Structure 1
């Protein structure tokens, strides 16, 4: 379990994502690069949390690790898409940071690459795909479903 968390937060995970993010500042990157950054930041930690739950469940959880990993990857990306959307549509008080700060810092975002409507559609599609992965697991996944819904519907 320690190895899982260390990998997610280390040089091949969150640290890599943060490094790529810093290297992309004041540059426009493409969608593939943006997704790579996000898979290795928030996505890596969400994936680690899901993996740790599966590992704690023992053999029962491990047999569904592929589905859980796919779920976590989709939710990690959806989190970032929604974060980028909120940077445009949210207000400073609710966000806890200045609205438009990503734009001001010239960061590549899903709305800047796809447009706001397409970014919102992307968040919904990622949610749908994540929930489809959970449908393949014959156990109670209600909490994971609720978490996924929160990620996409949140306003801060």
Structure 2
């Protein structure tokens, strides 16, 4: 977890495949711990064709059955189906500028400035709006809390505590 936090969490993710992977993994995380998902991430990448949206969009019922039998990932049919559906929705967004442009379009004008853990929010107006907009585009498992976590993880907002050695490290927001 420390390596993930120190090197990856909060760093900008602007490519379609990277954002698609994060949306899927955040959806799989719902109701579970992030450490569980992070530990299983290599298996998820293998099972979901490295989160290549066109490949995942082509998954069939046989692929769903294969995934439901895969003990190395989270075997939850609604979450598996959501990932496949989200791949199709990602492809549809290409005609509107793409997933990255869409998601980053919800970046707020200002980022939170938490001084303590108690100051950290789990949702925001932007994450609520992003969740609603993604659902309208056909995405699933993209609630406001999940999208807030996505925004934190991908650098759209910087919720590192003021004074943290990581605050501002994304280059998106000043420290």
- Fold conserved between structures, TM > 0.5: no
Tell me the TM-score normalised to structure 1 length. Answer: 0.33
Tell me the TM-score normalised to structure 2 length. Answer: 0.31
1 or 2, which has the higher helix percentage? 1
The answer to which structure, 1 or 2, has the higher relative contact order (CA under 8 A, 6+ apart) is 2
